[in-house]
């Protein structure tokens, strides 16, 4: 397997989207710029463009996610692609077919683009490397979330949202709050923000939910939420998975909310024009209070809208004619 | 074990003379150009010929080093039960191609080596194949389940030279204490890879910047040090001969050094890949770099390299673990850990020595006589009367690691494409030439 990131080809062009780490700023800006006109398409009577007409997009979900799969499906359909959804879950491995066998079979069905979600970090890299090794350079992979590693289209839509409301990144302070340890959303956003020159990126959470040496990713670490939120322009709340609310990582959802749940009171430490983001789905009363989620500072629903435009941009750049 | 035990077949030649080579025998401190005389499977003389000498075969070793056959403390042969990954035939060919003439195989077979019959069958098969000597390490507990002690006496009679849990953790500390007490009663050695099963739970990579960046579940260095402190406390009480397998952290090296200073009966090894690679070599999820214990940080690697140099770490082993493609072509965390290593032990040890400015004899000691002392078997030296197990290698031969060219059935190596120096040209076991490049 090549030890270089397989998402850029020898000419530096994007052939797969696997992670935001290591992407040149110009590539990220190009994706964001490409997404701008796609936001408008949703307001048209005919919400379609023919950029991927005749192309087959396979949503290859080894881990269930109705929401992410749906947004990719809508994005692909608005680009006029044929969309095939495969919820593989654990069933194919129990039948003995390996991940790469599945991929080879779908390539034989003339897939043009795979949207891959997998519980294991690095699974989309494995698929992309395999396609490169087999000379299938016309087939593209978009990582729709792999283990704790990356969720690059979520990171891009977060960047799009921040740029939409705040303009340039150079003077911004952004806080990412909660379960950074298990969060691919946090990793992708942090890489995107640091690549685009964000003035300060903070992570806030208890030590049990912060990965070792997280500061090596270029972030400031805060354990106290009020200190961490001081003078922030952007607050990104992370979802706390149900299975982590009670156990050795945290004593209870209630205690978590007390220390790290975003309330209007805690938000007052941030700048007056702060925006509040969340990748969804939200746990109201666990990581975020309804008054904030539904309040004037929340841009959580626009994130969803921008997400479709960003995914259209990514797919059209990779597989468009 | 008598030298006569190594006589081979009807075609066996009785006398062999190795001329013009640089003879390095770390056990005796020999390092000089001299002929080596082999008769009846044993070293007959070095330098002056025995009286009435007549060689049935001559080998010219000009420009080459004549060293004791290498002793590898950890080589998985995958038999019984895991023949889809490798067989005794394939792996013993790999061993002699790498100059390895004695090897210890851990009990993590299927079923594990917990019954004398399994051990006898393995020894019997190895004798029939007639290549490197195989020294099985018996299971410390039945099925490696960590509950019931194995019949160590019976297993030792069948040929087990030590007892271990391989990579399966022994969770119950009381059982571990009992196992050490029992082994100490009869003078058996216990080999343990120090890793706290709870701190390592679910982890696949060293806890550090790389695992954080790649989102790989992590194994902290503490998993090793916590386990070592438990093990040393039990050794202090039981005085069992304890061998620490596959040390991986800087703190672990310091703890082993302290245990030795204290006088605990402790020896220690490291896998040769840990002397050269670190977590950064995982790159973008390269499953060839998924190893057990995990590749750790650069500071750990530096401490391991220094630990081998100063003798804290007694021996370097290949930790040979052939894995088939199906086992490696998976996402990093699901891929089977391990690397094939028998054919790389010599050149990778020489690479370490060259980079650390360690002389050739001292380097070879780590993969010959020191390893043999850990194993407590008569191997790893060229003393007169010792079994004639010999590795003749070219110390200047540069070659590129090409997985498909390896003799091991496992082509899984993180060193693919590396340019290495030093290659085994002739391997002799029991006085017979078993491999020629």
The full DSSP string for B125-159 is HHHHHTSSEEEEEEESBGGG-SSSB--HHHHHHHT
Contacts with B215 from chain A: Cβ below 8 Å: 121, 146-150, 184, 187
Residue A65, pLDDT score: 85
Nearest C-alpha of chain B: how many angstroms from A42?
35
Quick one: pLDDT at residue A92? 55
* Residue-averaged pLDDT of chain B: 95
User: Which B positions 200-259 lie with beta carbon below 8 A of chain A?
Assistant: 207-209, 211-218, 220
Residue A12 pLDDT class (50, 70, 90 cuts): confident
Q: Taking CB atoms and an 8 Å cutoff, what residues of chain B touch A92?
A: none
Mean pLDDT of chain A: 93
Q: Which residues make Cβ contacts (< 8 Å) with residue A26, sequence separation at least 6?
A: none
Please confirm, yes or no, whether B167 is among the known catalytic residues: no
Residues on A contacting B at a C-beta cutoff of 8 Å: 1-6, 21, 98-100, 118, 120-123, 125-126, 129-130, 146-150, 184, 187, 211-214, 216-217
What pLDDT shows up at residue B302?
98
Percent of chain A residues topping a pLDDT of 90: 84
Structure token digits, residue B79: 């038999």
Say which of A1, A149, A216 has its CB closest to residue B214: A149
Contact yes or no for A316/A51 (Cβ under 8 A): yes
Q: Indicate whether A265 pLDDT > 80.
A: yes
pTM listed for this prediction = 0.94
Sequential DSSP letters for B11-23: T--SEEEEES-EE
Please tell me what DSSP assigns to residue B295: P
Interchain contact, B211 vs A118, CB within 8 Å: no
pLDDT-based confidence at residue A244 (cuts at 50, 70, 90): confident
Q: Give B52-81 pLDDT, tens digit per residue.
A: 999 999 999 999 999 999 999 999 999 999
User: What does the pLDDT look like over B351-383, one tens digit per residue?
Assistant: 999 999 999 999 999 999 999 999 999 999 999
Is B284 part of the contact surface with chain A (CB cutoff 8 Å)?
A: yes
Q: Are A277 and A299 in contact (CB under 8 A)?
A: yes
Interval B209-217 mean pLDDT: 97
**pLDDT band at A93; cut points 50, 70, 90:** low
Query: Can you tell me the distance from the alpha carbon of B93 to that of A143, in angstroms, rounded to the nearest whole number?
Result: 43
Residue B167: how many other CB atoms lie within 10 Å: 17
User: A110 near A34, Cβ under 8 Å?
Assistant: no
Q: Which residues touch B10 (CB under 8 Å, ≥6 apart)?
A: none
pLDDT computed for residue A243 by the predictor:
79
pLDDT at A2: 44
Nearest to A32 by CA among A197, A162, A140: A162
Residue of A96, A103, A122 to mutate, interface with B, max B Cβ within 10 Å: A122
pLDDT confidence of A11, banded at 50, 70, 90? confident
Looking at residues B140-154, what average pLDDT do you find? Answer: 98
Q: What is the DSSP string of A249-267?
A: S-S-HHHHHHHH-B-HHHH
Write the pLDDT tens digit of every residue in B42-57. 999 999 999 999 999 9
């Amino acid at each position: 397997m090549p030890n270089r990131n397989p998402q850029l080809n020898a000419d530096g062009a994007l052939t797969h989207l696997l992670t935001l780490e290591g992407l040149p700023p110009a590539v990220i800006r190009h994706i964001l710029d490409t997404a701008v006109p796609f936001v408008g398409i949703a307001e048209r009577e005919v919400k379609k463009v023919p950029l991927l007409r005749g192309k087959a997009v396979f949503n290859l979900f080894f881990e269930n996610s109705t929401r992410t799969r749906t947004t990719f499906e809508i994005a692909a359909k608005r680009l006029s692609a044929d969309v095939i959804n495969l919820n593989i879950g654990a069933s194919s491995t129990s039948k003995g077919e390996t991940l790469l066998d599945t991929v080879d079979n779908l390539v034989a069905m003339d897939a043009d683009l795979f949207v891959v979600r997998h519980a294991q970090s690095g699974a989309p890299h494995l698929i992309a490397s395999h396609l490169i090794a087999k000379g299938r350079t016309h087939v593209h992979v978009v990582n729709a979330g792999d283990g704790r590693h990356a969720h690059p289209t979520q990171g891009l839509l977060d960047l799009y949202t921040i740029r939409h409301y705040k303009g340039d990144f150079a003077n911004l302070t952004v806080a990412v709050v909660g379960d950074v340890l298990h969060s691919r959303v946090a990793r992708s956003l942090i890489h995107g923000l640091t690549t685009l020159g964000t003035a300060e990126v903070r992570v806030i959470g208890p030590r049990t939910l912060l990965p070792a040496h997280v500061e090596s990713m270029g972030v400031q670490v805060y354990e106290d939420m009020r200190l961490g939120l001081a003078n922030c322009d952007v607050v990104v709340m992370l979802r706390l998975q149900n299975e982590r609310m009670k156990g050795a990582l945290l004593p209870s959802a209630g205690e978590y909310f007390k220390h790290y749940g975003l309330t209007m009171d805690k938000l007052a430490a941030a700048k007056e024009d702060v925006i509040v983001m969340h990748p969804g789905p939200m746990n109201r009363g666990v990581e975020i209070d309804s008054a904030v989620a539904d309040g004037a500072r929340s841009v959580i629903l626009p994130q969803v809208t921008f997400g479709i435009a960003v995914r259209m941009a990514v797919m059209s750049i990779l597989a468009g004619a | 074990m008598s030298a006569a035990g190594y006589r081979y077949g009807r075609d066996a030649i009785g006398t062999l003379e190795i001329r013009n080579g640089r003879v390095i025998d770390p056990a005796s401190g020999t390092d000089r150009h001299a002929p080596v005389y082999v008769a009846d499977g044993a070293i007959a003389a070095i330098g002056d010929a025995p009286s009435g000498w007549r060689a049935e075969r001559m080998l010219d070793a000009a420009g080459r080093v004549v060293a004791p056959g290498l002793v590898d403390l950890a080589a998985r042969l995958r038999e019984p039960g895991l023949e889809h990954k490798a067989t005794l035939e394939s792996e013993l060919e790999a061993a002699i191609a790498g100059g390895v003439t004695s090897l210890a195989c851990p009990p993590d077979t299927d079923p594990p080596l917990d019954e004398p019959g399994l051990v006898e069958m393995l020894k019997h098969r190895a004798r029939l194949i007639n290549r490197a000597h195989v020294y099985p390490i018996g299971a410390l507990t039945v099925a490696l389940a960590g509950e019931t002690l194995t019949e160590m006496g019976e297993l030792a009679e069948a040929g087990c030279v030590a007892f271990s849990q391989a990579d399966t953790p022994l969770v119950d500390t009381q059982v571990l204490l009992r196992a050490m007490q029992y082994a100490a009663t009869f003078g058996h050695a216990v080999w343990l890879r120090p890793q706290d099963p709870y701190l390592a739970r679910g982890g696949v990579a060293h806890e550090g910047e790389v695992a954080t960046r790649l989102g790989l579940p992590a194994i902290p260095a503490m998993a090793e040090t916590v386990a070592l402190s438990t093990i040393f406390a039990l050794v202090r009480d039981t005085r069992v001969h304890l061998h620490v397998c596959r040390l991986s952290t800087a703190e672990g090296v310091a703890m082993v050094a302290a245990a030795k200073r204290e006088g605990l009966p402790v020896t220690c090894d490291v896998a040769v890949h840990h002397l050269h690679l670190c977590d950064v070599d995982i790159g973008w999820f390269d499953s060839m770099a998924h190893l057990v214990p995990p590749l750790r940080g650069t500071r750990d690697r530096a401490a391991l390299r220094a630990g081998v140099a100063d003798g804290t770490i007694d021996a370097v082993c290949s930790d040979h673990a052939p894995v088939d493609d199906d086992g490696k072509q998976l996402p990093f965390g699901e891929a089977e850990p391990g690397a094939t290593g028998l054919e790389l032990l010599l050149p990778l040890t020489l690479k370490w020595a060259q980079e650390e400015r360690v002389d050739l004899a001292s380097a070879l000691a780590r993969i010959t006589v020191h390893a043999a002392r850990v194993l407590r078997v008569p191997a790893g030296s060229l003393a007169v009367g010792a079994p004639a197990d010999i590795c003749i290698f070219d110390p200047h031969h540069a070659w590129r690691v090409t997985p498909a060219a390896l003799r091991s059935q496992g082509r899984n190596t993180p060193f693919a494409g590396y340019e290495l120096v030093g290659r085994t040209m002739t391997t002799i076991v029991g006085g017979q030439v078993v491999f020629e490049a």
